[in-house]
Structure 1
């Protein structure tokens, strides 16, 4: 089976979507969010095309946030926070 950008990135984006949904229910997810982003950066950073993968990951989080209804402020905020964490991490710029 050939690994694709979508196949490698989608599970990581879905994990963050799940965490953002938990935040909506009042759960404190800050540690889980930072951990998930860090693990993703480590996992995708081992691939030969890590720049493309990390760009797709950040873009996927931003799109998920922009596609959400505006009434889901906590959900949107957590997805944007995750995208910002990933974009500002030094591993994403290597």
Structure 2
């Protein structure tokens, strides 16, 4: 089986999307969101192509947030927060 960037990153993106859906219903997901992003950065950061994987993760979060911004404020806010946290931590890694 061939492992791809999409195959490695998608489950992590879907985890954040699930948290965003919960936030839309009024659930406080801040701690869970920060934990999910930290675990993702740790999991993907150990791969040989970590830079590409983490860049794809941040780009996926930003794209999802932009698409959701049209009427789903809480949902988009969670995605934007996750993208910001991930991007910030990536800068610290460099």
Q: TM-score, normalised by structure 2?
A: 0.94
| 1: CA distance, partners of 2:58 / 2:90 | 14
- How much has 1:67 moved relative to structure 2? 1.3
Q: Which residue of 2 aligns with 1:24?
A: 24
- How much has 1:93 moved relative to structure 2? 3.5
Return 5+ residue gaps in structure 2 as ranges.
Answer: none
Per-residue CA deviations over 1:6-55 (Å, capped at 9, x if unaligned) read 00000000000000010000000000000000000000001000000000
Structure 1 segment 46-57 matched on structure 2, within 5 A: 46-57=46-57
- How much has 1:71 moved relative to structure 2? 1.2
| 2: CA distance, partners of 1:15 / 1:92 | 23
Per-residue CA deviations over 1:42-74 (Å, capped at 9, x if unaligned) read 000010000000000000001111112521001
Q: Which residue of 1 aligns with 2:11?
A: 11
Count residues with an aligned counterpart.
94
Return 5+ residue gaps in structure 1 as ranges.
Answer: none
Q: TM-score, normalised by structure 1?
A: 0.94
Q: Which runs of 4+ in 1 moved over 2 A?
A: 90-94
